Structure 1
Amino acid sequence: MISQLSWKIGGQQGEGVESTDRIFSTALNRLGYYLYGYRHFSSRIKGGHTNNKIRISTHPIRAISDDLDILVAFDQESIDLNAHELRAGGVIVADAKFNPVLPEGNNARLFPVPITTIAEELGTSLMKNMVASGASWALLGLPLDVFNKAVEEEFGRKGAAIVEKNVEAVKRGADFVLELAGGPIEELQLDAADGKQKLFMIGNEGIGLGAVAGGCRLMSAYPITPASEIMEYLIKKLPPLGGTVVQTEDEIAAVTMAIGANYAGVRTMTASAGPGLALMMEAIGLAGMTETPLVIVNTQRGGPSTGLPTKQEQSDLNAMVYGTHGEIPKIVIAPASIEDCFYDTIEAFNLAEQYQVPVIIMTDLQLSLGKQSCEALELDKIAINRGKLVRELPELETHQLFKRYELTEDGVSPRVIPGDKGGLHHVTGVEHDETGRPSENSLNRLKMMDKRLTKLNGMLIRDAVRADAPHAAADILIIGMGSTGGTIDEARTRLEKDGLKTNHITIRQIHPFPTDLVKSYMDSAKKVVVLENNATAQLASQVKLYVGQAEKISSVLKYDGNPFLPSEVYKACKELS
């Protein structure tokens, strides 16, 4: 029996790879296993190689694995591109229709199954994904009734006849491969899971759920990979709560609509990726100048321009921190798990209203679209903080205006809902006085700039720096952000076995930079390795700028469109030790 294994399905985009993965992983989730998924897909609707990889474990996992136990192949290309990942004695379940051939020197066990033929005998080749699923499920020796329940949930809306045919496809695939293999494969038998039910979602769904829980009732957005699932999630969830989603004509309209709605008192968000964020920059400056709360999700992908729209990258950091013209306070936070996506989104709305600034939630494609197990969310942690929003105001004297931008000690002014009696004030994107009236007075300019820029002094989010630092003095401190945390931890396990003392921090508050917290861990390390998915070491540059100690710092960079593997992190750190 084993405690974990990896399963991958590959084929041409549009062949049902995604639905096969979804049903297979849903069934495993029902059994209580921990799961971590990665999608490799092309930036087109149909055609081009795609594969989905699921890591299955009896204990929590937060990284894709280096190797592979089972490969389900719909075509020869899937074998050619992915068979090298198979561990010794790994298994390939392939459609016999294309006469599968193992690459030279590969010792995997190949099981040709007439996947398409069986599906066509049942009425349609579209059911080949269920035949393939049944075959690979059977080799694991897992109960078919659990899988059939997942099939029923997937196809139930199409009627009992469709469910029955798909269940039959699963059985036919299972029966054929078991006869071929002589029964379930002993080396692939998983230890029993704990049976505990877990949430299973992508980061974008965590963000959407967090938005609902945080009081968001309007989303204005334009579809873009890998952010679109946030909008699709909220399209279903907001209307029953009296909210709505508006698909705008572009990202400029999306962000300005969000600013207007937040100004009117409705918690509103928008979400995009790098190209869309670029279009929002002028409006982000408007939110900063008018001190209007604004929440933006930026799901990073490969750039520049259209770049690699369906591939992993973390190269928008500088754009989020420095992109706006002029100087405004803003907050950039980086969730590192599905749970973070939920809680940080709630906190982003609170921070936006508490400080009256733009807040950018920075994710990456792997966190946004990688489906993962998630422990039950603690709803008692949810708190709504609307900051200095004032609803009951004294009446103003004739011609008197409300001091919407009043100079205060903490830099945050009282805020009102437009139309509230006693709250009359100007709103403008030009420099202004305390009532919002335009002003080019140099002394006023100094006071207003200082007021805005002092808002975030000392501001720290929950777990601004998340640490796993068991050593008072470490040989290596590894620093990461976003989805890299689990990969780093697995590499550290191997490094520790080699006798190296390693600490690990994930920086979750990118701006304002948590200098003192990061410095406290760097001071006690001989060497510092900063791991990031970009070519120009953007996170390392922030560390050097705010903490210093550049002589200690080495960068480990990956920008080929793929996330880090634990073995890659281990090898890089070993070479630097």
Structure 2
Amino acid sequence: MSTIEASPAAQRSGEFQQPVVNDFSIQVATVNGSGSQTANSVLMRAIFQMGVPVSGKNMFPSNIQGLPTWFTIRASKHGYIGRKKEIDFLVAMNPETAREDVMKLESGAAVVYDEPLKLDALRSDLHFYPVPFDKLVGPVCPEAKLRKLVRNMIYDGVVANLLSIEMEEIHQALIKQFGKRKAKAADLNWGAAKAGYDFAEKNLAKTDPFRVERMNATAGKIIIDGNSAAALGCVFGGVTVVTWYPITPSSSLVESMMGYLKRFRIDRETGKATYAVVQAEDELSAIGMVLGAAWAGARSVTSTAGPGISLMSEFIGLAYYAEIPAVIFDVQRVGPSTGLPTRTAQGDIISTALLSHGDTRHPLFFPCSPEECFSMAVDAFDFAEHFQTPVFVMTDLDLGMNNWMADRFEYPFKPIKRGKVLTAVDLERLGGFARYKDVDGDGIGYRTLPGTNHPQAAYFTRGSGHNEKAQYTEREDDYVNNLDRVARKFETMRSFVPKPQVENNSKARIGFVCFGTSHHSVGESRDQLKNEYGVETSYFRLKAYPFTQELTDFIHRHERVYVIEQNRDAQILGLMRLELTAQDIAKLRSVRYYGGLPLDARTVTDDIVRQEGL
């Protein structure tokens, strides 16, 4: 029989500790390629099914298998779904990292560990629960080659017992994970989970304060990753051509889209696909195909990460100057160069906003959630065609690949908008058109699509100098007029980009500006500052670039404005400095995190406290 080696400090605190209910984080430390993802997903979903808000963060190496991986599940009765810096409950399954993982824990944390590791000897202020995983897995999994995978499910049962997670929810989560077609696999894993639960029930005396209790805070919610949400948004946005080159962390976006297209874009009468997906030889080819398809009238998209964005630079300049619509998803990761492919960042902001040589400025959308990955994907296609320009949807690895609790997506009932496209009837009425002439004063010219049956429909598309009629020219006035018109178009965009989220607090002297996934940690940090220091704050979340008048108004209302982002060089702040007055710039402060993990609230709070001198 295994026994608990609880420290005297832990035992003493156990007598007086208040229960910590639905407000803690679980970290599972395993080896990449060991099959732990299933066990982790089941554990997270079981808590979710008990009505408790959850989120899941997977930190994994960029090799195929063998290196350490950590999966963190956060349960929060307050609805916080950003990363929690502190780990409260550790499942230590990796001998290589177990000691370091234990030494990093704060006093009072709990540790479930593989008994041979003898981690209880390391510290006297933690709650230790040794489990003989190899002994338990044998009876429930006779096939030796499967034991490495099935043994992970044992810790689901152990944790369920210790945290009061209902086993029926574990069972239902298993069924959902494996589906009806893999009933035998589900049964095998269910046996392992029960073995872990029964062992804990008989052998482990609970001393830690953490537990799960039923809530009703997840009704109508789903769990989904941002890449899948974006893929579904592209389908609803009318995409017909998808080109890509695989790269972490964006590959699953197109892979998910392919699955959706096969389900929803097959002609019922002919059985043929009404879409095209092409895997290109590199990212440069992928964006070239997108532009060719878009020029021909198709709604086209590609998905990539920072290295791919760098390769696309020349073609993006062509799309900007020749004014061809396109949608590009940049699922950002740590750079420069190869960088850390499986770590998250917001490090492509300036390079993408100004991508290509010469004077270029591109619209960027900043989703913060799966819901916005879906809705902004739909909107990006309309926006690209309205303004005849590339649109970049800037997500990141945290949003794209991790599990998020989300509301069900709203069906996009609004019709597709193609922008200023002239038909043969229009041309007959007008007698012709000038492709790059600013007729309406908004900087946007009219265009035709190939195949328009009218003698005045054709024009020449070129990346070299051209005048209003798309004719080649090297005249100074033609070039200046063209660049000025495209700049006017960028100014027009300010009235059409997604509007920011603004929360002005009349008691606040300081304000926060952030974008993307930083939203979740900043919201929690604001609560920490108010509850722990009595500091009131206002909030401004950018949803797009170019910026709108609301940003300037927000800065004017406050003495100091902290711009929070996940990169080293304060890139969104840099774009703000290009547009704001010196007086407004003087109010700006920077909070930056660029370690590759998802930004957590405590990091933001500590930096604000330091800069404010609290």
Q: Do they fold alike, i.e. is TM over 0.5?
A: yes
Partner of 1:530: 563
52-61 or 358-367, which moves further after superposition? 52-61
Identity %: 29
Per-residue deviation, 1:257 = 0.5
Residue from 394, 400, 404 that aligns with 2:435: 404
Cα deviation per residue 1:486-506 (whole Å; 9 max; x = unaligned)? 111111112113122211212
Is 1:139 paired with 2:162?
Answer: yes
Aligned length: 571
Partner of 2:590: 555
Partner of 1:118: 136
Counterpart Cα distance in 1 of 2:562 and 2:59 = 27
Residue from 475, 480, 485 that aligns with 2:509: 475
Partner of 1:60: 79
Partner of 2:329: 297
Partner of 1:23: 42
Secondary structure of 1:254's partner? helix
Per-residue deviation, 1:329 = 4.7
Question: How has the CA–CA distance of structure 1 residues 566 and 139 changed in structure 2, closer, same or farther, with 3 Å as cutoff?
Answer: same
Cα deviation per residue 1:449-489 (whole Å; 9 max; x = unaligned)? 2222211324235653222322x352321221211111111
Residue from 375, 394, 398 that aligns with 1:343: 375
Per-residue deviation, 1:151 = 1.4
Partner of 2:7: none
Is 1:576 paired with 2:611?
Answer: yes
Partner of 2:269: none
Per-residue deviation, 1:178 = 1.7
Residue from 206, 220, 225 that aligns with 1:202: 225
Counterpart Cα distance in 2 of 1:406 and 1:268 = 25
Secondary structure of 2:184's partner? helix
Per-residue deviation, 1:274 = 0.7
Cα deviation per residue 1:205-253 (whole Å; 9 max; x = unaligned)? 1211111111112210111111111011011011331223221110001
Is 1:453 paired with 2:472?
Answer: no
Cα deviation per residue 1:3-27 (whole Å; 9 max; x = unaligned)? 3221121111111222222222233
Counterpart Cα distance in 2 of 1:61 and 1:85 = 23
Partner of 1:376: 408
Secondary structure of 1:454's partner? helix
Residue from 168, 171, 175 that aligns with 2:194: 171
Per-residue deviation, 1:129 = 1.5
Per-residue deviation, 1:196 = 0.8
Question: How has the CA–CA distance of structure 1 residues 357 and 134 changed in structure 2, closer, same or farther, with 3 Å as cutoff?
Answer: same
Residue from 146, 153, 170 that aligns with 2:176: 153
Cα deviation per residue 1:111-152 (whole Å; 9 max; x = unaligned)? 121223322331231201211112112222222122112212
Contact (CA 8 Å) 1:213, 1:382: kept in 2 or not?
no
Counterpart Cα distance in 1 of 2:572 and 2:530 = 25
Partner of 2:260: 237
Secondary structure of 1:319's partner? helix
Equivalences for residues 171-570 of structure 1 within 5 A:
171-182=194-205, 187-194=210-217, 196-240=219-263, 241=265, 242-380=274-412, 382-393=414-425, 403-408=434-439, 409-422=441-454, 423-460=457-494, 461=496, 463-470=498-505, 472=506, 474-497=508-531, 498-509=533-544, 511-514=545-548, 516-547=549-580, 548=582, 549-570=584-605
Secondary structure of 2:483's partner? helix
Counterpart Cα distance in 2 of 1:407 and 1:464 = 26
Secondary structure of 2:519's partner? helix
Is 1:42 paired with 2:61?
Answer: yes
Counterpart Cα distance in 1 of 2:134 and 2:497 = 52
454-463 or 174-183, which moves further after superposition? 454-463
Cα deviation per residue 1:383-421 (whole Å; 9 max; x = unaligned)? 522111233435679xx9753333322221222221110
Secondary structure of 1:131's partner? helix
Question: How has the CA–CA distance of structure 1 residues 272 and 477 changed in structure 2, closer, same or farther, with 3 Å as cutoff?
Answer: same
Root mean square deviation, CA, Å: 2.3
Question: How has the CA–CA distance of structure 1 residues 458 and 419 changed in structure 2, closer, same or farther, with 3 Å as cutoff?
Answer: closer
Counterpart Cα distance in 2 of 1:441 and 1:450 = 14
TM-score, normalised on structure 2? Answer: 0.88
Per-residue deviation, 1:293 = 0.4
Task: Give the residue type in structure 1 aligned to 2:132.
Answer: P
Contact (CA 8 Å) 2:53, 2:217: kept in 1 or not?
no
Is 1:51 paired with 2:85?
Answer: no
Question: How has the CA–CA distance of structure 1 residues 474 and 87 changed in structure 2, closer, same or farther, with 3 Å as cutoff?
Answer: same
Residue from 84, 90, 105 that aligns with 1:71: 90
Per-residue deviation, 1:524 = 2.0
Per-residue deviation, 1:101 = 0.8
Question: How has the CA–CA distance of structure 1 residues 194 and 319 changed in structure 2, closer, same or farther, with 3 Å as cutoff?
Answer: closer
Is 1:13 paired with 2:32?
Answer: yes
Secondary structure of 2:234's partner? helix
Secondary structure of 2:578's partner? helix
In structure 1, runs of 5+ residues without a counterpart are none
Per-residue deviation, 1:330 = 2.2
Secondary structure of 2:452's partner? coil
Residue from 95, 111, 114 that aligns with 1:95: 114
Secondary structure of 2:608's partner? helix
Secondary structure of 1:393's partner? helix
Counterpart Cα distance in 2 of 1:31 and 1:184 = 23
Counterpart Cα distance in 2 of 1:555 and 1:327 = 27
Contact (CA 8 Å) 1:29, 1:198: kept in 2 or not?
no
In structure 2, runs of 5+ residues without a counterpart are 1-18, 266-273
Partner of 2:15: none
Secondary structure of 2:312's partner? helix
Contact (CA 8 Å) 1:10, 1:17: kept in 2 or not?
no
Per-residue deviation, 1:28 = 2.8
Counterpart Cα distance in 1 of 2:426 and 2:158 = 72
Secondary structure of 1:495's partner? helix
Counterpart Cα distance in 1 of 2:577 and 2:508 = 19
Counterpart Cα distance in 2 of 1:84 and 1:393 = 74
Contact (CA 8 Å) 2:345, 2:594: kept in 1 or not?
yes
408-417 or 271-280, which moves further after superposition? 408-417
Task: Give the residue type in structure 1 aligned to 2:83.
Answer: I
